Amino acid sequence: SSRLGLNPTTLLRTLSTSAAKREPQKAQLLINGEFIDSRTDKWFEVHNPATQELVSLVPQATPDELAEAARSASHAFKAWRKTTVLSRQRKMLDLQALIRENMDKLANNIVTEQGKTFNDAKGDVLRGLQVVEAAAGIPDFSMGQHLQVSRDMDTYTIREPLGVTAGICPFNFPAMIPLWMFPLAIATGNTHILKPSERDPGATMMLAKLAIEAGIPPGVLNIVHGGVDTVNFICDDPAIKAISFVGSDHAGKHIHDRGNQNGKRVQANLGAKNHGVIMPDADKNHALNQLVGAAFGAAGQRCMALSTVVFVGESKQWQDEIVKRAQELQVGSGFDPKTDVGPVISPQALDRIHSLIQSGVDEGAELLLDGRQVSVAAGLEKGNFVGPTILTNVKPHMKCYQEEIFGPVLVCLQVDTLDEAIELINRNRYGNGTAIFTRSGAVARKFQSEIDVGQVGVNVPIPVPLPMFSFTGSRGSFLGDVNFYGRSGLGFYTSIKTVTSLWRSEDVAHTSASVNMPTMQ
């Protein structure tokens, strides 16, 4: 905003009006360093979820275009793998600087295509930027192990890139998730083919332009678009050695299985149902504010949204206060600085959320707050808005508990003890994240040890690990063996070669060849 000389409110208004007047843009492909128009006749429409205005068109890339992307990535790998680790570090440093400079533009595009609020969209970019910053530590990060076995002999490890790698992204974090994938892939010496979500590819296109500006050579990063046909190409093409996927269970299982059958490495982050446990000794104000923010922020469209609350014992009396706080949240356009809850991604998502709310009512849950008829400002009547919704007395067999709702809906369950809460959560098929609110270290420690969920928050509602750690969702929320970013991400995008070398410093007279297994003793 300082560069444009506008204050943030004026900037928001300018950005939103300029977005409103824009002609639908055709998303281009990035192949071999060139941004090109697809020759396809099949296009996906991207609508602003707050207004239904058509904002862009996304091609289903043709088989020839996809093959060209794979060829370009294979060719580029030959030279890219030979670059020095310091030159790859420099590209990451330049890329992070460009992302920081363009933060507002990226966030503006995310609000237009995805719907979340402007500040939340900046958080989306920032969490991705942190991964680029961590990738800039690649020389240190990729140091191997070395042991001097004897005066003449060394054993050491070398991390080598795999070749062409690919990423397949969901709609809900249009900047963060592509940035979980291509920067680390490229920094480790691989080339990459990235498929953004066909529902909001704009942020990826901007990031790709910044990557080119940062000096990523032709073919090292390629962007392809499309739906299932593009996904299947990525799963099948023999040049592609590894696939990173984030999205729904259904697509993830398909990609994991098909990629594995074709001999590829696959890491797949899937859906979730994250439980927040409220102990009666919790700091009430902190716990309720965190819970409301984590349930309804981003309209509940975060894989780490705290969409389920488990009240232990007397904490159930705080339910009414949660309702009060949820009622205060403003529903509207992500460009309005007063908005807390933006639209959900599509009319289909809205219908799915409505029907899951209704299923809860039909199965006997109590609807404490109903956001289905929420009213919004003039001009937004066609938007996909759902207001904060709270269902209580929910039982584990109910559909609204079993399924990921992915909307601004909080389901509440009540138990008597911490043990029951732990058992409930461990029985749920997902294991993405969970949080406990308590003032007791002993309770938190017990929860941490006994809970079978890969990411745990203690008085922290959305414990998405920073990129010096890895994203460790577990059980039904993950398929594969090696997690995203951090040391795991480094492991995913590289293979280890272990070298044992002998350079004798003095002549040793050999009398005969030995056929015994060398023991190096």
- Residue ranges that bind ligand NAD, judged by CB under 6 A: 168-173, 195, 197-198, 227-228, 231, 246-248, 250-251, 254, 269-272, 303, 404, 406, 432, 471, 473, 477
Decide: helix, strand or coil at residue 353.
helix
Judge whether 341 and 410 are in contact, CB under 8 Å: no
User: Hey, what amino acid is at 487?
Assistant: R
Q: How far is the CB of 105 from ligand NAD (least distance, A)?
A: 23
**Which CB sits closer to ligand NAD, 244 or 389?**
244
Strand pairing class (164-168; 191-195): parallel
Q: Return the HEC string of 464-516.
A: CCCCCCCECCEECCEECCCCECHHHHHHHCEEEEEEEEECCCCCCCCCCCCCC
Q: How far is the CB of 453 from ligand NAD (least distance, A)?
A: 12
Measure the CA angle with vertex 50, ends 49 and 53; round to 5°. 70
Q: How far is the CB of 305 from ligand NAD (least distance, A)?
A: 8
Q: How far is the CB of 438 from ligand NAD (least distance, A)?
A: 25
**Which CB sits closer to ligand NAD, 234 or 444?**
234
Tell the residue number behind the tokens 């076995």, with chain if given.
149
Q: How far is the CB of 322 from ligand NAD (least distance, A)?
A: 23
**Which CB sits closer to ligand NAD, 467 or 473?**
473
Q: How far is the CB of 88 from ligand NAD (least distance, A)?
A: 26
User: Hey, what amino acid is at 352?
Assistant: R
Judge whether 104 and 330 are in contact, CB under 8 Å: no
Note the maximum CA span of the chain.
94
Q: How far is the CB of 344 from ligand NAD (least distance, A)?
A: 11
**Which CB sits closer to ligand NAD, 96 or 197?**
197
State the Cα–Cα distance between residues 11 and 335, nearest whole angstrom. Answer: 10
Q: How far is the CB of 289 from ligand NAD (least distance, A)?
A: 23
**Which CB sits closer to ligand NAD, 118 or 245?**
245
Q: How far is the CB of 279 from ligand NAD (least distance, A)?
A: 26
Whole-number Cα distances in Å, 327 to 119, 268, 342, 368, 418:
20, 36, 14, 11, 29
Residues 6+ apart with CB under 8 A from 390: 319, 322, 323, 326, 367, 368, 369, 409, 410, 411, 412
**Which CB sits closer to ligand NAD, 52 or 232?**
232
φ, ψ for residue 494 (rounded to 5)?
Answer: -135, 160
Residue nearest to ligand NAD according to CB distances in the complex: 247
Burial of 458 (0-12, 13-18, 19+ CB in 10 A): middle
Judge whether 439 and 430 are in contact, CB under 8 Å: no
DSSP assignment letter at 342? -
**What residues does 194 pair with on adjacent strands?**
167, 223
Residue 59 tokens, joined:
């091609």
DSSP string, 106-153: HHHHHHHHT---HHHHHHHHHHHHHHHHHHTTHHHHT---EEE-SSSE
Judge whether 103 and 156 are in contact, CB under 8 Å: no
**Which CB sits closer to ligand NAD, 274 or 315?**
274
**Which CB sits closer to ligand NAD, 214 or 243?**
243
State the Cα–Cα distance between residues 6 and 213, nearest whole angstrom. Answer: 26
**Which CB sits closer to ligand NAD, 180 or 318?**
180
Decide: helix, strand or coil at residue 203.
helix
**Which CB sits closer to ligand NAD, 206 or 443?**
206
235: annotated active-site residue: no
DSSP assignment letter at 336? S
Closest Cα partner for 370 from 313, 314, 421, 408?
408
The single residue of 235, 303, 400, 412 carrying the catalytic annotation is 303
Q: How far is the CB of 176 from ligand NAD (least distance, A)?
A: 9
**Residues catalogued as catalytic:** 303
